[in-house]
């Protein structure tokens, strides 16, 4: 499992510290815990394609950039490992429209 702060977009949890996103490969998700609550971007690996089917951020944590940090971590991982991303989740699809720089990584 890898653990690193989000490096893109300046997202912060609670406005005070960088969001630390972990790749939990055993659970097929990118995750972070903020204020004791689990936030996640869940995928299924299908050959060389990460099919991202769910992002979840509990309501009390919404609006802090956490989902964006999780999705950025998905794309960073895909780029580093020669993978494509199939954004099945509506949030991930919307995020990709705001970030055309990841277009080459889309399945």
pLDDT digits (tens, 9 = 90+) for 3-12: 545 444 333 3
Give the integer Cα–Cα distance in Å for 41 and 17: 20
79 compared with 10, residue with greater pLDDT: 79
Q: State how far the alpha carbon of 2 is from the alpha carbons of 21, 24, 47, 95, in Å.
A: 8, 7, 21, 23
**Residue spans per domain, the chain:** 2-105
Q: What average pLDDT does the segment 76-101 reach?
A: 98
pLDDT tens-place string over residues 17-39: 689 999 999 999 999 999 999 99
* % of the chain exceeding 70 in pLDDT: 84
Q: In the predicted model, what is the mean pLDDT of residues 35-49?
A: 97
State the SS3 of 67-102: HHHHHHHHHHHHHHCCCEEEECCHHHHHHHHHCHHH
Q: At what angle do helices 66-80 and 90-98 cross, to 10 degrees?
A: 80
pLDDT, mean of residues 46-52: 98
What is the CATH code of the structural domain delimited by 2-105?
3.40.630.30
């Amino acid at each position: 499992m890898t653990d690193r702060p989000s490096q893109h977009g300046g997202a912060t949890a609670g406005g005070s510290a960088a969001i630390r996103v972990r790749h939990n490969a055993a659970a097929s998700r990118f995750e972070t815990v903020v204020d004791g609550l689990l936030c996640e971007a869940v995928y299924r690996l299908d050959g060389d394609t990460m099919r991202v089917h769910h992002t979840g951020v509990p309501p009390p944590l919404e609006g802090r950039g956490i989902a964006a940090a999780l999705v950025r971590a998905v794309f960073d991982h895909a780029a580093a490992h020669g993978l494509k991303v199939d954004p099945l989740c509506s949030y991930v699809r919307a995020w990709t429209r705001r970030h055309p720089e990841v277009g080459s990584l889309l399945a």
